[in-house]
Amino acid sequence: MAGQVNLAVGCLVWIEDPEVAWIDGEVVEVNGQDIRVLCSSGTTVEAKSSNAYPKDPEFPSCGVDDMTKLAYLHEPGLLQNLKCRYDVNEIYTYTGGILIAVNPFRRLPHLYDNGIMQRYKGADLGELSPHPFAIANSAYRQMINEGISQSILVSGESGAGKTESTKMLMRYLAHVGGRDGGKSATGERSVEQQVLESNPVLEAFGNAKTVRNNNSSRFGKFVEIQFDRSWRISGAAIRTYLLERSRVCQVSDPERNYHCFYMLCASTEEVEKYKLGNPRTFHYLNQSNCYELDGLDDSKEYTSTREAMDVVGISTAEQDAIFRVVAAVLHLGNVEFAKGKDVDSSEPKDDKSRFHLKMAAELFMCDEKALEDSMCTRVIVTRDETITKCLDTVSATLSRDALAKIVYSRLFDWIVDKINNSIGQDRDSKHLIGVLDIYGFESFKTNRCLTEGQGSQGLESQYTSDTFVRGNVGNLRREQSEGLEGVLLGL
């Protein structure tokens, strides 16, 4: 849009500002490609006309509920609309069939009660104010009307509110497709209840504090809600992707490791049982100076997590085994290595490291020497023989961290499988609504993980296809149905 509009004195424009991104003003002088702008802040700045974007003089003070209603679809115009709506507590805005959510970082319970859900039930998309319930309702109605399974993609940067939005979508689907009273025919908790109640468990083991979010999901989640012939929820499955395994061993300040580590260290009973203590004493936790979260009691969260595990069918014995593994990972991280007797070999550094090695072996219920060898040596199997190669201290440390990551990752996968077995899938279901909650649209200075980057690019490709390609095809068909000639332009 910039550079394509002839600017004259008196035109209202947007220009870049280093502090607030974009600032509006009035053109007071035009000299070829150079312009002078009197900004709304009272300052006068010079800019290139090619870097100026036109501002709509008739833009409503409270914004519009759908971006497609804007006169100018450029970055400053979109941001202005989002800000104006946010200022009047309107955190949701449509862009056609896409819902944009701006995280308010506070509870707004009046937007999500049962009365609001009932209002959106059966309403057409766009008939009521933008809302996650409207998106979920649209997917549910399309599934019924077209007989085709639907998917809802929830993506955004860390801290954008993806997980909370996903919960809202799930609540609405449980409302319109759930069993009356929330109980199954046998009196047990219904499928939709179990899916909703699995969130605290997954968050305990898959969420962590990041710079912008105290409860950031460090994994992607795809929830399949399965429906029977009466369009009632009959089963569900949770699939997880891209758990951030590196966080188990590496934490940047002021972030935290996964919540479960701090919960366990805050539980008085478990501290003695597993020989734990202050999080500051563990290498996998003390790389950051953040150990506690404002307004959060890790001891109470531990109790709540155990209660949630009861709900989703994880027995007390299985819970004990889970937290035994969590404690073992912490002890494993405190095993340091020193140079061994042989060339390029290594061994536990001192008595302290020996103690943590012993505790890790006891908690893993494995042989202590076998655990030590798994970190200090590498076994190479050829066609003719098996070779055991000693590892130096650096390689042994890397081997220790690799073991911790794979153990934690498999523990997380086991928990997800256990939840799925408890919920139960409907193998005969022909229709489902899938809700994908995964981070994307982020830009990092360094590549953290190749697969994360590929996943994010796939999401953006899907977004581009839905927004531009399919949108253009739909517009072309409408034009042709009205007797107008249209041309489909490629990207």
Please identify which of the residues 163, 166, 198, 395 carries the catalytic annotation: 163
Known catalytic membership, residue 267: no
Do 345 and 391 form a contact (C-beta atoms < 8 A)?
yes
Nearest C-alpha neighbor of 202 from the set 251, 172, 156, 239: 239
161 is in an annotated binding site: yes
158 is in an annotated binding site: yes
Sheet with 21-31: strands ordered across: 44-48, 34-39, 21-31, 12-17, 53-54
157 is in an annotated binding site: yes
Known catalytic membership, residue 216: yes
Do 171 and 117 form a contact (C-beta atoms < 8 A)?
yes
∠ Cα 304 309 311 (to 5°) = 95
Please identify which of the residues 25, 77, 440, 455 carries the catalytic annotation: 440
Nearest C-alpha neighbor of 378 from the set 345, 349, 339, 405: 345
156 is in an annotated binding site: yes
State the residue for tokens 């506690």: 292
Please identify which of the residues 81, 213, 214, 257 carries the catalytic annotation: 213
Residue 4 carries which DSSP code?
Answer: S
162 is in an annotated binding site: yes
Known catalytic membership, residue 215: no
Known catalytic membership, residue 44: no
Residue 84 is which amino acid?
C
State the residue for tokens 């009196």: 187
- Compute the distance between CA of residue 182 and CA of residue 97 in angstroms, rounded to an integer: 31
Question: What are the angstrom distances between the C-alpha of 183 and each of 179, 199, 418?
Answer: 7, 19, 21
Do 437 and 163 form a contact (C-beta atoms < 8 A)?
yes
Known catalytic membership, residue 442: yes
Known catalytic membership, residue 213: yes
Quick one: which H or E segment has residue 331?
helix 316-333
Do 279 and 265 form a contact (C-beta atoms < 8 A)?
yes
Please identify which of the residues 217, 257, 267, 429 carries the catalytic annotation: 217
Please identify which of the residues 158, 215, 353, 472 carries the catalytic annotation: 158
Please identify which of the residues 96, 97, 126, 159 carries the catalytic annotation: 159
For residue 132, what are its two tokens? Answer: 């996650």
5-31 CB burial, b ≥16 within 10 A, e <16: eebeeebbbbbbbeeeebbbbebeebe
160 is in an annotated binding site: yes
Half-sphere exposure of 244 (CA within 13 A, CB side): 24
For residue 201, what are its two tokens? Answer: 């468990």
Nearest C-alpha neighbor of 8 from the set 51, 45, 74, 54: 54
- Compute the distance between CA of residue 64 and CA of residue 345 in angstroms, rounded to an integer: 67
Sign of CA dihedral 199, 200, 201, 204: positive
- Compute the distance between CA of residue 397 and CA of residue 417 in angstroms, rounded to an integer: 30
Half-sphere exposure of 149 (CA within 13 A, CB side): 13
Known catalytic membership, residue 295: no
Residue 468 carries which DSSP code?
Answer: I
Known catalytic membership, residue 97: no
- The 3-class SS string of 417-479 reads HHHHHHHCCCCCCCEEEEEEEEECCCCCCCCCCHHHHHHHHHHHHHHHHHHHHHHHHHHHHHH
**Per the annotation, where are the binding residues?**
156-163
Positions annotated as catalytic residues are 158-159, 163, 213, 216-217, 440, 442
**Per the annotation, where are the binding residues for ATP?**
156-163
